Amino acid sequence: MGTFVNIRETLKAMQTDPATTGDPIKREFVCDGEFLTANLSILEESGDALHTQKGHDELVLVLEGEIDFRVGEETRRVRPGDLVFIPKDTIHGPILGDGGRFAALSVFAPFFDRKQKNIEWQRDKAR
């Protein structure tokens, strides 16, 4: 992690953080501060990646893909350049069609401690 990050280069050479290997959304964390964390994320598996973060607000900047994105009970079509705000403890996530790809920059506040279980996946609740 550095002070300056080239998003395009980082996406091309993305190294999935070991803490997210089993998740539908693959993430590479690009900065950690005292009060916030940012990561690049990629989704290539079709279906939804709905989840909740009980302790974090999140901003998502869409970088690649035109997909449906759900926040709470609302679903909208998003495309590169769109910014989505997700309040903590709100179900949300991308819904990807077959053959699609979604990439985004996410900023979490407060700091996202990867040693903790921060994310509850909807698919795990169904089991």
Domain locations along the chain: 7-125
Predicted local distance difference test score (pLDDT) of residue 103: 97
Rounded (to 5) percent helix, strand, coil in the chain: 10, 45, 45
pLDDT of residue 56: 96
pTM: 0.92
Fold of 7-125: Jelly Rolls (2.60.120)
Beta bridge partners of 86: 58
CA distances to 1, 13, 94 from 78, rounded to whole Å, are 28, 24, 9
Q: How much is the pLDDT for 114?
A: 87
pLDDT at 28: 95
- Block means of pLDDT (10 residues each) for the chain, 127 residues, are 88 90 92 95 92 96 96 98 98 93 96 90 78
pLDDT of residue 45: 87
Q: What is the predicted pLDDT for the residue at 126?
A: 66
